Structure 1
Amino acid sequence: TGYTWNRDLFPDPKAFIAKLHQRNLKPALNLHPAEGIHDHEEPYAAMAKHMDIDPETKVPIPFSIADPHFTKAYFELLHHPQEVDGVDFWWMDWQQGTASGLVGLDPLWWLNHLHFYDLGRGGEKRPFIFSRWGGLGNHRYPIGFSGDTVVSWESLAFQPYFTATAANVNYGWWSHDIGGHMGGIEEPELYVRWVQYGVFSPILRLHCTNVAFHERRPWGYDAETDQLVSHAMRLRHAFIPYLYTMAWRNHTAHVPLIRAMYVENPHDEPAYHCPDQYWFGSELVAAPFISPADPDTRLSRQVVWLPKGDWFGFFDGLRHAGDGFQVVNGRLSDIPIFAKAGAIVPLAANANENGTVNPEHLEIHVFPGADNTFDLYEDDDLNAHSLTPIQQQWSQRSWTLAIGPAQGQLSHLPEKRSWIMHFHNVTSESVTVRQNDIVLGLLTDYDETTSTLQITVNDVKPTDSITITILTSDKNSQGQSLSKLNACQKCVQAFRMDTWVKDRLFKQLPAIVEHPSLLQEYGLLLTESQLRTLSEIIFEAGFLRTSTRSSENEMILMWNNHETENVTYRWHGYVDNLLQRTKFQQGPLPKFGVFEFGDESITYHKGNQTSAGRISVGGWLASVPERINPALIAGLNAIVQFEIDDETAHLIFDNGQATITNSAHLQPSVTITSQKADWLDLINGDLAPEELFLSGKLSISGDMNLLLQLVDVLQVTPQSLYRTGKWQLKVQYNDYLTINLD
């Protein structure tokens, strides 16, 4: 890239840009400024003269952004003329490292800073750039470009985690290469899923390259792909009022659009183990599909953790109970998006137009279950702005939504607009609509398939107020839920299987949901993934083997929302590789549990706490007698002394009893000696006993035969810790489905 248009492709660049502006599009040009300015560039002569170089020499002008003399010409001669011709902003595609000519100055950080404020000179434009990551502090200069992306499911799967955790350093406005453009294998399904994720990411930007097979135009694929991608892109455009309000919230309250689940739920341990989902603004949780559909179920699978409270499918309005995991099985057209109880989500009603003009037709999607307030932000693209309050009050028998009047400067708002309200998951007995306290006639529509009531109010001025009151039916006060039967039916409809068997299974589903053991009949007729899909729905219990995303390591997540005893697990793993000691762990699947695989160990924890924290030497010594099984020391008489730096204690075994004394013994049977730092690593699971022993950091003297006998008695490392290597996990649903992992 450079500073000269290819006149064969763009014979009249200024006219081309003007046409883009007529379509409400704002073009940017991509920069690789480190290449400097060469003699083929149109502005070379002017730039050379400024730098006291004879243009006739055709000597390249080196890039030197730390030089104020160069920097002045860099902007005034290279960039400002292009902006006069209509270029709206610049894409800093820096890939050349940190050398700048000034010690300690990262050129990309400095470029971002300069370009950001240069674009805002004169107050005619808001400062705005598009750049690669410039390091900590670059949240000040949005938007970010995450770099060249390989076309693969692995790339897509990493991006939700990457984007959500970037918010931890307040870098919220990431733009990814949607679809990728670096090699890989192109698949229509991957392309669709990537665009769907892009809809619910900070910036949706399709990206291609000069390779004919990296197709990013929706119509470049089959008819289904064209339809689904086009729909997704229009959906994204409809979300602009919501996104723009979240951008204002980010600016004023410093809350990024996308946040990891633990940001809002820091005391819920499951929030730290669901890396593929995130908060999307203040009202929604997104968990896009990031893996291909199973060939037997013909459905994509996503496991979603929902915090306490009621949640609603954004597209179908159906209620889901929180405080647990949900398995979402979806066709290619589905996107798992959940609205919190009381959610208020504004959308543009006409998403077929380019640009971000404040819409004349607004849709407001509201969900039952809680009171809420949403201040809709709109502006003139520069300074004047307004906030329109949207408030809802919800109870078991009534639902009230109040809109307006708008506050602030109002000249940028349409003189009149239509408000189209969508009340999700409701059965109403009566509806009253008031505009400025005047009762209006009703313009309504009701969708029975989604239980959504639509109410339209036209010709509303910014200074007007609207109040809608709905009296709801008792039977619908908590919202309609997706029944297990309906969920199973939707899945079976998609299954790839013999049609006669499918028909018999479908008809028997009501009985199977009530008596899951009936699935035994289909043990030879359904595949493991098909049986697992139905079982996860019926029992609301299952497991997920997935990447932690934070590294290349894996985790196995397990859940059992209702703690049923009909779903069990059995884990078998090593606790000591040197002595070949293993341990079993089994029982009903926990409400929440996770095995986390590290480089040296596998840790397990369940419930809402990871552990009691790092244990001290004194705390470990005091707890040793409590953790010894009396049956293992019956008839044993021995004294084990621990010498851990300045802490010495001896453990007395006396015919089935164990006591600890904080002092030295004159004649111990076995003495174990170690430095405190090393022992702390051992008892907290950072090191294995064999590692400590072989490295000479653990000294053992005395009766070695007795020590070997005590190996099974003394649990030195945490009980939830296993060593890496061989392991097995078996999950069993009743007696009809067993799934083995290793």
Structure 2
Amino acid sequence: MAFPFLNDPLPPVPAPSASVIRGKNYRFTVLTERLVRIEYDETGAFEDRPTQITVNRNFETPRFSLTEDDRDIQIRTDYFELRYRKGPFTPYSLSVEKLGGYSNHDNIWHYGETPPTLKGTSRTLDKADGAIALEEGLCARAGFAVLDDSSSLVIREDGWVDRRREGVTDIYYFAYGHDFRACIRDFYRLTGAPPLLPRYALGNWWSRYFAYTQEGYQELMERFAEKDMPFSVAVLDMDWHVTNIEERYGRGWTGYTWNTELFPDHPALLRWLHDRHLRVTLNLHPADGIKAFEKMYRPMAEALEVDTEKEDPIPFDVSDRNFMAAYFKFLHHPLEAEGVDFWWIDWQSGNISRTEGLDPLWMLNHYHTLDIARDGKRPLIFSRYSGPGSHRYPVGFSGDTCITWDSLDFQPYFTATASNIGYGWWSHDIGGHMKGYKDNELMVRWLQYGVFSPVNRLHCSNSPFTSKEPWNYGPEAEAVMGRYLRLRHELVPYIYTMNRRCTAELEPLVQPMYYSHPEHKEAYTHPNQYWFGSELVIAPITGPALRETRRAAADVWLPEGTWTDIFTGTVYRGGKTIRVWRPLSEYPVFAKAGAILPLARREPGSNCIDNPAELELLVFPGGDGTFTLYEDSGEGAVGSRFAETEIRLTAGNTVSLSISPRGDLSVLPQSRRYCVRFRGFKDPGDLQGFRAESGGEVLDAVCRYDSAARTLEVDLPALPVSREITITAGTLRQAEALYRDAFISILEDMQISYELKDEILRILGTAESPQDLLASISAAADDPNVISVLAEMICA
């Protein structure tokens, strides 16, 4: 039985001969000046086919020198020196020195060693209640790392897989120093670029392990719409299929037949969801195979020559090519034809198959990704991590975590560190899955983190008490959660552009701070803090608020420069670590100087995340900036039909902003309206000096200054999308920290004595400088947290 998606298999990928140094049973391939492949095979039959990890070795031959005699080989570039005494690989015969090391003792790798790194990721967070051990990554303080590909399966020319010979050594040595971004870029070149996700994957996902009825699910989606809580993906857990089966068939964990008692007309449900701009994924537990009660049992059994009269079960076997072809043809393609968009591969059955070394999870991820893309669709699955190279199979399902603050506290670090092995699209159970405890504040903080993580998927167990509908957490939490769910959909233009950046420029969406500042110790001592795309730094709140301050704290290191809180407009001076405090409604998100953040203006009650007809541009002070907004159809094959809109900020004596669309504008609405928000600027006074032009025509722009948000607002009329626009804003200056205005509301909110509030207010009126104010408050207040909250505003 043929695989329709293996008609165009991966081509062979040998390296250029000029890059190869080969002997009878050893081979070294210098792929870049910082990356070398190291092989040993007693048979001398070296492998040039793709493997589970590596799919491309055709790099341009770099500069290197070779010194060789009968006994020794030395290969040297500007970044490493490999020394090999001919014979079997041992720690004594093979070593590589990272040139320009960061100490005198940790810059040499000997064969057989596993050098320490800044870690990578893990297969799953199932049952995790806080931190777990992580696998090694490719970024290291010592400047080098190794990737062992020796036990990978090879991918044959026909697209199927084969085991490798026993005893083969196939290692990649990375010597990228602290150029972590270059390291991951070349890893992607070696192993394949992450695919461009469909646009709908970047909105909010609703998921719950629960036996919904068709009517109940529709009522829930309608209630979300009434409350303007948007979602773009509907996840149906295992109760979509029949689970209550006759004892002779075993258990109902695996299933492919719709439960008609719960879903009497599932095609109508799928159409109904699609009409409301919701895509659908169904849960799979394939390990138990196909039993005789399944709707598609008979045609599949006949195709595989299984005795249908005896109702013999069809065992699940990823190592059987005929089974896998039938698995897709009979189990999945018919359901996709009815409207299932992609699959949640909830594999929980270990890494053993009938073929030694073949992990069923990797096979499922690999072939499901190929299969879902067979008709030009974008490859999208939802599954657990299956080792290096898994970034080709997004989105990642991190598993069933406990509902605790410790679980939340681990996830920002876990997600950022996964970029060290190129795995950039983790999806967590936002709010946690099971066990734990009810905590309204925890749920809000988890959701806020989810909004600023790769995929925001609310999920929980089937307990009646753990469901994540915002109205289950009280009026204050519901209001905040609704606001952030809307914000996630507003952020889609920005995140989708970063999605394209990941595929085209090989830059993960989430990056640890040491990617941009590798020589600053603070970049390593704030593991929960991370870059979210090119413009924003996130400092997640992962602990509860204090009763006295009614605010929760996060310690954030801001590099040199100016940084603006995107919610309050407060401008912070960088080059220091500060403790920031936020009420439940706010979250520590900082825009770099010159940042431009595009947000979609959306229709209330709609789930639609198409390229918007109205864009809000948040523009932040402190320097020049450029942002190129990427837009295409959002689905289908990735091709030449896309538009890029360059938005350029010039922030000299005169502040100006230009908007320049280019490319295939047919993917955009015919007209577009821009609402520009210059955040963190002083009141310019006379707004008549502002000018907006397009093609020499002065536009009828509406300008106003919002003193509470420290924002100059410029609203432009709708124009044909092809028009270039220039806004000249005259002289705009950064807003100073308006601590005097903020103190009253902060003091009002604090749960402290009235006498202390009165004393702080008196000090505020008499202090002659911020330094005097801070000193006087420190002397008056006993509580260091009260002092810290007020100090943030004074010292921003």
- Secondary structure of the residue aligned to 2:670 is coil
1:237-276 correspondence runs (5 A): 237-276=489-528
How far apart, in 2, do the equivalents of 1:386 and 1:539 lie?
43
Q: Which moved more, 1:479-488 or 1:301-310?
A: 479-488
Change (3 A) 1:536 1:457: closer
From 677, 690, 713, the equivalent of 1:454 is: 713
Q: For structure 1, which segment, 239-248 or 293-302, has the greater mean C-alpha deviation from structure 2 after superposition?
A: 293-302
Match of 1:492, as an amino acid? L
The answer for the alignment partner of 2:142 in structure 1 is none
Q: Deviations over 1:658-686 (max 9, x none)?
A: xxxxxxxxxxxxxxxxxxxxxxxxxxxxx
From the two aligned structures, give the one with the greater strand fraction.
1
Deviation of the 1:34 alpha carbon: 1.2
Which residue does 2:585 correspond to in 1? 333
1:57-80 CA distance string (max 9 Å, x none): 233221101111100110000000
Name the structure 1 match of 2:361.
108
Evaluate the alpha carbon distance shift between residue 447 and residue 130 of structure 1 in structure 2; reply closer, same or farther with a 3 A threshold.
same
Contact 1:237 1:351 in 2 (8 A): no
Q: Quick check: 1:34–1:63 contact (8 Å CA) kept in 2? A: yes
SS at match of 2:730: strand
> Does residue 405 of structure 2 align to residue 149 of structure 1?
no
Q: Does 1:24 align with 2:280?
A: no
2:323 is matched with which residue?
70
Is 1:494 equivalent to 2:749 in the alignment?
A: yes
The residue that corresponds to 2:205 in the other structure is: none
Distance 1:501 1:308 in 2: 35
Whether 1:163 aligns to 2:415 is: yes
- The letter of the residue matching 1:136 is P
Check whether the contact 1:89–1:128 (CA below 8 A) recurs between aligned residues. Answer: yes
Selected match of 1:122 from 375, 389, 392: 375
Which residue number corresponds to residue 89 of structure 2?
none
Q: Is the 8 A contact 1:327 1:537 kept in 2?
A: no
Whole-Å Cα distance in 1 between the matches of residues 744 and 553 of structure 2? 16
- Matched length: 531
Map of 1:93-242 to 2, 5 A cutoff?
93-123=346-376, 125-242=377-494
After TM superposition, give the deviation of residue 351 of structure 1 in Å: 5.6
- 1:193 and 1:290 in contact (8 A); partners too: yes
Structure 1 unaligned regions, length at least 5: 541-742
Larger of the two Rg values belongs to structure: 1
Q: How does 1:383-462 map to 2 (within 5 A)?
A: 383=639, 384-395=641-652, 397-404=653-660, 406-426=661-681, 427-428=683-684, 429=686, 430-462=689-721
Distance of 2:774 and 2:324 partners within structure 1: 72
> For residues 351 and 284 of structure 1, what CA distance do their matches in structure 2 show?
25
SS in 2 for 1:108: helix
TM-score when normalising by structure 1: 0.69
CA shift, 1:121, in A, is 0.6
Match of 1:683 in 2: none
State the distance in 2 between where 1:490 and 1:200 align.
27
Partners of 2:702 and 2:330 in 1: CA distance: 58
Cα deviation 1:608-640 (Å, max 9, x = unaligned) = xxxxxxxxxxxxxxxxxxxxxxxxxxxxxxxxx
Code of the aligned partner of 2:751? R
* CA-to-aligned-CA distance 1:402-433 (integer Å, 9 cap, x gap): 101x2222212111111111111233352111
Structure 1: distance between partners of 2:282 and 2:595? 39
Q: TM-score, normalised by structure 2?
A: 0.65
Q: 2:786 aligns with which of 516, 525, 530?
A: 530
Work out the CA distance in 2 between the residues paired with 1:39 and 1:488: 70
Identify which of 585, 592, 595 aligns with 1:343: 595
1:290 to 519, 534, 542: 542
Instruction: Give the superposition deviation at 1:318.
Output: 1.9
Which string of whole-angstrom CA distances, capped at 9 and with x for unpartnered residues, describes residues 586-611 of structure 1?
A: xxxxxxxxxxxxxxxxxxxxxxxxxx
**2:178 — aligned with what?**
none
Amino acid at match of 2:694: Q
Paired AA for residue 276 in structure 1: N
Pair 485,68 (structure 1): closer, same or farther in 2 beyond 3 Å? same
**Larger CA deviation: 58-67 vs 529-538:** 529-538
- Whether the 8 Å CA contact 1:130–1:143 is kept in 2: the answer is yes
Structure 2 alignment gaps of length 5 or more: 1-237, 239-254
SS of the aligned residue for 2:759 comes to helix
> Which one-letter code corresponds to 2:716 in the other structure?
V
Structure 1 residue 509: deviation in Å? 3.6
CA drift of 1:494 comes to 2.6
Taking the aligned partners of 1:331 and 1:385, their CA distance within structure 2 comes to 40
Q: 1:221 Cα shift?
A: 2.4
Deviations 1:93-130 (A, max 9, x none): 1111111222222211121110111011121x111111
Separation (CA, whole Å) in 2 of partners of 1:48 and 1:149: 38
- The alpha-carbon deviation at position 521 of structure 1 amounts to 6.1
Letter in 1 for 2:406: E
C-alpha distance 272-212 of structure 1, shift in aligned 2 (>3 A) = same
Give 1:464's match in structure 2, choosing from 723, 727, 731: 723
- How many Å apart are 1:538 and its aligned residue? 5.8
Identity over aligned residues, as a percent?
44
Distance (whole Å) between structure 1 residues aligned to residue 788 and residue 497 of structure 2: 41
**Within 5 Å, which residues of 2 pair with 1:502-651?**
502-511=757-766, 514=772, 516=774, 518-519=776-777, 522=780, 526-534=782-790
Query: How far apart in 1 are the matches of 2:337 and 2:777?
Result: 70
In the alignment, which residue of structure 1 is the partner of 2:335?
Answer: 82
Cα drift, residue 531 of structure 1: 4.2
- Runs of 4+ residues over 6 Å off in structure 1: none
1:471 match: secondary structure? coil
1:180 to partner: Cα distance: 0.7
Q: Structure 1 residue 379: deviation in Å? A: 0.6
Displacement, 1:534?
Answer: 4.4
| CA distance, structure 2, for counterparts of residue 519 and residue 224 of structure 1 | 31
CA change 1:517–1:226 in 2 (3 A) is: closer
Aligned residues of 1:17 and 1:86 also touching (Cα < 8 A)? yes
CA distance 1:519–1:282, shift in 2 (3 Å): closer
- SS of the residue corresponding to residue 279 of structure 1 reads strand
Q: Distance in 2 between matches of 1:535 and 1:410?
A: 49
Distance 1:535 1:359, change over 3 A: closer
Q: Identify the residue that residue 57 of structure 1 maps to in structure 2.
A: 310
Q: 1:190 Cα shift? A: 0.6
- Flag the 1:188–1:402 CA change in 2: closer, same or farther, 3 A: same
Q: Which amino acid aligns with 1:302?
A: A
CA apart distance, 1:283:
0.5
Matched residue, 1:38:
291
Task: From the superposition, tell whether residues 521 and 457 of structure 1 become closer, same or farther in structure 2 (CA, over 3 Å).
Answer: closer
Q: Alpha carbon RMSD of aligned pairs, Å?
A: 1.9
Task: Tell me the CA shift for residue 527 of structure 1.
Answer: 3.6
Q: Which residue of 1 aligns with 2:174?
A: none
How far apart are residue 495 of structure 1 and its match?
2.0
User: Which one-letter code corresponds to 1:414 in the other structure?
Assistant: P
Letter in 1 for 2:326: A
Distance 1:370 1:135, change over 3 A: same
Alignment partner of 1:362 is 2:615: yes
Q: What displacement does 1:487 show?
A: 5.8
Amino acid at match of 2:718: D
Aligned amino acid, residue 456 of structure 1: D
Q: Distance in 2 between matches of 1:209 and 1:351?
A: 32
